[in-house]
């Protein structure tokens, strides 16, 4: 009885031990992932050479922009590169710049009283003042102011011209920029009550490229405008913080008769 009981007890124990021992590991095969598509590289797009380039509008000038090449109001009704009259001339600003410039008198120089008595030999101021357009056209003795007697004419230049001893208010410099020219004539007594003007002799052809007086047509003569460079104390209207400086201007100086070869 004892032997049988022991045998019966051992057999289930072995079974329990065998059941607790894990068997060999056999992993389940994982299915392969599908192949990913190759990366997309689009073809470069080139502009058609036959098409017009894209339009890029010009930028607008910023608000308050000052164009130094834009003609001032005094020049809107004239084709001259200068103004003898300027309703917008900055008298107060000019007087203020004079008072703030310690070397102003070293820059400034002028001969305010000029005339033919000093600048034209053998011609008086009275004679030169008379040589205007009315003088030459009024010399005609016939029905037309431009007949033969006009060209023969009385005393005068071969090429009629208009002479002015002017005090220019604004002018275009040799680079094409408009400048304010120093012309300080105070309206009342006070600081800076002295006159600081700049006088320029301007001589302009009345009939440019026309034939010269007193010469036969066979000479093919013509009246030619001459110019000279003037240096004057100036102000930049687009830079209120800049003081006085010397600038250069091309101005009409004479009208001469030219005879070609």
pLDDT in tens, 78-110: 999 999 999 999 999 999 999 999 999 999 999
In a domain, 92, yes or no: yes
Domain with 105 in it: what CATH number? 2.10.90.10
Confidence of residue 174 (pLDDT cuts 50, 70, 90): very high
| Chain centroid offset of residue 114 CA | 33
Question: Average of pLDDT values for 192-204?
Answer: 88
Q: Which of 252, 103, 99, 121 is nearest to 184 (CA)?
A: 99
In a domain, 18, yes or no: no
- Give the other-Cβ count within 10 Å of 161's Cβ: 25
Cα separation, 232 vs 171, in Å, equals: 10
pLDDT of residue 22: 57
Cα separation, 230 vs 200, in Å, equals: 8
Confidence of residue 217 (pLDDT cuts 50, 70, 90): confident
Q: What is the mean pLDDT of the chain?
A: 80
The answer to whether residue 214 scores a pLDDT higher than 80 is: yes
CA 77, 83, 85, 89 torsion-angle sign? positive
pTM of the model: 0.69
Q: For residue 204, what are the domain limits?
A: 73-258
Cα separation, 51 vs 46, in Å, equals: 11
CB within 8 Å of 112: residues ≥ 6 apart: 195, 197, 199
**Is residue 199 within 8 Å of residue 114, measured between CB atoms?**
yes
The answer to whether residue 190 scores a pLDDT higher than 90 is: no
In a domain, 232, yes or no: yes
The answer to whether residue 42 scores a pLDDT higher than 80 is: no
In a domain, 56, yes or no: no
The answer to whether residue 70 scores a pLDDT higher than 90 is: yes
Domain total of the chain: 1
CA atoms within a 13 Å half-sphere pointing along the CA-CB vector of 246: 10
In a domain, 77, yes or no: yes
**Is residue 139 within 8 Å of residue 147, measured between CB atoms?**
no
In a domain, 254, yes or no: yes
Confidence of residue 261 (pLDDT cuts 50, 70, 90): confident
Strand partners, 176: none
In a domain, 26, yes or no: no
In a domain, 9, yes or no: no
């Amino acid at each position: 009885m004892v032997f049988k009981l022991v045998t019966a007890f051992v057999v289930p124990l072995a079974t329990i031990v065998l059941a607790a021992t894990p068997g060999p590991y056999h992993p389940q095969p994982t299915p392969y992932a599908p192949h990913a598509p190759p990366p997309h590289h689009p073809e470069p797009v080139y502009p058609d050479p036959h098409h017009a380039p894209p339009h890029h509008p010009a930028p607008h000038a910023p608000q308050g922009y000052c164009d130094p090449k834009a003609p001032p109001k005094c020049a809107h009704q004239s084709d001259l590169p200068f103004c003898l009259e300027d309703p917008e001339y900055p008298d107060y600003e000019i007087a203020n710049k004079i008072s703030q410039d310690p070397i102003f008198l070293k820059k400034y120089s002028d001969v305010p009283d000029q005339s033919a008595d000093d600048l034209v030999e053998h011609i008086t101021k009275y004679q030169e003042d008379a040589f205007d357009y009315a003088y030459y056209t009024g010399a005609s003795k016939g029905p037309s102011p431009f007949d033969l007697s006009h060209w023969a004419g009385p005393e005068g230049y071969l090429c009629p011209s208009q002479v002015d001893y002017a005090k220019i208010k604004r002018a275009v410099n040799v680079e094409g920029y408009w400048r304010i020219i120093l012309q300080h004539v105070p309206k009342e007594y006070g600081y800076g009550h002295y006159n600081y003007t700049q006088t320029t002799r301007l001589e302009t052809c009345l009939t440019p490229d026309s034939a010269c007086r007193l010469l036969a047509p066979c000479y093919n003569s013509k009246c030619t405008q001459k110019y000279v460079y003037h240096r004057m104390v100036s102000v930049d209207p687009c830079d209120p913080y800049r003081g006085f400086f010397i600038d250069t201007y091309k101005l009409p100086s004479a009208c001469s008769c030219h005879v070609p070869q």
